A and B are shown apart, each in its own frame.
Chain A
Amino acid sequence: MLRYTLRRLLGAIPTVLLVIVLAFIMVRAAPGGPFDAERALSPDVEANIARYYNLDESLPRQFFRYLGGVLQGDLGPSYRYRDTTVSELIADHLPVSMMIGGMAMLLAIIVGVALGIMAALNRTAITDRVVMGFAMLGISVPVFVLAPVFMLFLSVKLQWLPAGWSSTPGPSKYVLPVISLALPQIAYIARLSRASLIDVLSSDFIRTARAQGLSQGSIVRYHALKPAMLPVLSYMGPAIAVILTGSVVIEEIFGIPGVGQFFVRGALNRDYTLVLGIVIFYAVLIVLLNLIVDLLYGLIDPRIRARR
């Protein structure tokens, strides 16, 4: 297990390097530069700024200068947010994103799996239809509609919850963002776990178990649940990443200081270092999450572990 983990981690190094190279090329290939604005700078000023950020060097030199910095843990200065470095920006804003993303994910898994199981076990009953109907709604409404509607009714009309992050130091500011973020995921996971459980329940070994006279409860608990969770687990890696970046809309609408917003903004602002920094961070995160998911997979399904 340990050796496997180590091997995977070492194997991730080329991945991350490749990501850096590709992202660097793509970032630089995009038209326009970080300091372009409708109010054009005079050539002298532009030259001074380019020199300040070493943007006057050749691209390969800039790349190796950047890579050298990254190896020393320096992700460079942000071009747009001149008072901070990219490392500071990520370090300052990651906890908030993690917190909201984590809470949303937790909520989504608990409620989603519970709903999925409930629906799967009551397939012809009204429960299934109600639950799945809810799941459908959750999937069918874009977050950028959901969030403003929540805000309009719960914050503006009823004034139960704050509309903006910076308006209160208390925990109530988490409610709307977390729910808005979790709702589509709940729907997603409910559907996935329902489909998967139904699948497993109709498989041969469950039928054998049933033939042996085991109760539905213990069949589900001891035999069906674990394999049924595999697709849900498979979805976890991408889902967490999706939540982290997919929170762009939420962060924008509620004014939340997370990293998601920097992702798109950095790209639109041609904030090269910020985009590269987030890409690198994101790449490392994905590699780790996938590793964790695969390890968990092994834990749940011993046959896979044995094959390693």
Chain B
Amino acid sequence: MSFFRRPLVLFSLLVVVALAFFFFPREGDRPDPFDGLVVLDRALSSEPESLDPQLARTTQAADVLRDLGEGLAGYSPTGELVPAGAISWTSAEDALSYRFELRREARWSNGDPVTASDYVLGLQRLVDPATAAFYAGQLGSVLNAEPILRGEMAPQSLGVEAIDDYTLEIRLERPTPYLVALLTHPSTFPVNASGLNERGEMNVNAGELISNGAYVLEERTTNTLVQLRRNEQYWNNQNTAIDVVRHHVITEEMAELNRFRAGELHITSNVPPESFAQVKEEYGDQLHVYPYLGVYYYGFNLTKPPFKDNLPLRQALSMALDRETLVEKIIGRGEVPAYSFVPPGIDNYEPPQFSYANLTQAERNSIARSLYAQAGYGDDNPLRFELRYNTSDTHQRIALAAQSMWKDVLGAEVTLVNEEVRVMLQNIRDAEITQLFKSSWIGDFNDAQNFLGVVEPGAPSNMPGYENEEYLELLRNAASNMDLERRRLFLEEAERVMLADHPVIPVYFFVSKHLVSNDVVGWGDNLLDYHYSQHLSLKPGEQARP
């Protein structure tokens, strides 16, 4: 027995020593590689899957790319379109061509000047089928983009031309009033030819990626960290305050919040719903909630009963959904109830609303009940259907709330089906067993067309399978109309027509939610939720890391 006392003591000692070794004082932890530098720690909610601007797909990749690169235009901290790689632009009378005058002092991180041919290369690369870019369709309205995408023409025939080193011309197939906004997207960023290999693949290794933005790539660990360092060659380098930007990839919202609270992050990408009230109380001054260009909606499968050709039923469900309660009590993070599909705040657009937007919920409920009866359902013959949503706590809470609202108001029996997201998407696409499904749309740029195009008949994003000639016609008219005012009227009329058909139930409009440390200066809330690191700085004295 005594034999085991001794080794046990030894073991315990070993363990204690090992642990003590770990418990180094935290300052000793860091043989500070950032000594004397201003370091910003911010969070990404998922891995930026590619830092090749043409290959990137997610908003997280775009967030990093906006730090690394620069397009013809960009955004100010408060979301106004501002010149970036170009200093000015003009469009022709017919609005079918644009000319951009480029910034002469712009440099790549290897010292090369950024020229018009670099932009041409980037745009050709985007539509080249061999690149297999996700955003290749983004530039569909540029001359020849679509045939190139289908492999019918060479990428060089794209309607983009370098008139001289600092003048770029883009020719269009059809008027595109939001062209400049499109050109802020990373997929349209220029490319330095010396960064491509013989197969046209970009070298995206840390330390080797050639970029033209405020930062260069210093270090990268998949699913953990993307670390950027100031680009000394950047034309606006003297106005860049942050030396090192560390984009931490944190997928767990609670972990992200904890890291903010532990002083390890300056900016979070989100705030977990369960902790929102507590965060608001504790960090009210550091909590930033702002409208965001996105709509959360339930889509009907319009190709199958019970929702096919049954407008009263669809309208009844929409009216019986108490969006105010949902937004205030169930989600409760400042979201806005949606009575239209296009979010408020879009430039040059006033969303029309459902006719019942201004009624009280009680009034809506009583109309909903009579519509429900009119559709052929009642207490003895209740509507039974499935609501699909992809696995997530928030979707689930909303679905549960909707389920009980439809039960209480109409007596409808809703079965909730939560599926893994890809299974759900497959089921929606098959349109066989799907009846009502959860979806959302995040705007790529600030234009109503981007939202109304979602349910455009024939579009791949039109998951409900909405068909309406009049709607299509109005969208076409808007697309071919250069007069902004008339275009606006066409678009608004289109939305009115679409809303009346109820192909979807808009539920709420998104808000962006960030915790931004008090040490951060220059943060601006904006509709697109873009926050360039180069616009930010840290309070003097707070530059030493937490």
> Could you tell me which A residues sit within 8 Å of B by CB distance?
30-33, 35-46, 48-49, 51-53, 80-84, 89, 92-93, 107, 110-111, 114, 117-118, 121-122, 148, 151-152, 155-156, 159-172, 174-175, 216-218, 220-221, 252-257, 261-262, 268-270
Contacts and interface: CB of A to CB of B under 8 A. Distances in A.
Interface in B111-163: 129-130, 132-134, 136-137, 146, 149-151
B425 A255 contact: no
A216 B1 CA distance: 6
Contacts of B541: none
Contacts of B149: 44-45, 48
A170 B458 CA distance: 55
B262 to A, nearest CB: 4
Interface string B389-427: 000000000000000000000000000000011110111
Given A167-B264, A170-B29, A172-B24, A261 B137 contact: no
25 contacts: A30-B423, A32-B423, A36-B422, A40-B463, A41-B137, A44-B146, A45-B137, A48-B151, A52-B132, A83-B55, A93-B222, A114-B11, A117-B8, A118-B8, A121-B1, A148-B258, A162-B29, A164-B259, A165-B224, A166-B249, A170-B24, A172-B26, A172-B29, A175-B23, A255-B248
A38 B3 contact: no
A83 B11 contact: no
A209 to B, nearest CB: 15
Given A44-B149, A216-B1, A254-B255, A80 B49 contact: yes
B29 A84 contact: no
A166 B23 contact: no
B15 interface: yes
Nearest to B391: A268
Contact of B223 (A30, A110, A155, A257): A257
A154 B19 CA distance: 14
Interface string B23-43: 110101111010000000100
A221 to B, nearest CB: 6
A255 B265 CA distance: 13
A2 to B, nearest CB: 34
Contacts of A159: 26, 262-263
A82 B263 CA distance: 32
A43 B463 CA distance: 14
Contacts of B249: 166, 255
A166 B222 contact: no
Contacts of B460: 40-43, 46
Contact of B255 (A80, A221, A255): A255
B7 interface: yes
B1 A217 contact: yes
A172 B22 contact: yes
Nearest to A111: B15
B3 A255 contact: no
B281 to A, nearest CB: 16
Contacts of A253: 252, 254-255
Contacts of A122: 1
Contact of A163 (B8, B28, B50, B262): B262
Contacts of A167: 41, 248, 259, 262, 264
Nearest to A221: B3
A42 to B, nearest CB: 4
Given A164-B259, A252-B252, A217 B30 contact: no
A172 B289 CA distance: 34
B481 interface: no
A47 to B, nearest CB: 8
A89 B49 CA distance: 12
Contacts of B55: 82-83
Given A151-B255, A160-B23, A220 B3 contact: yes
Contacts of A38: 421, 425, 439-441
Nearest to A52: B132
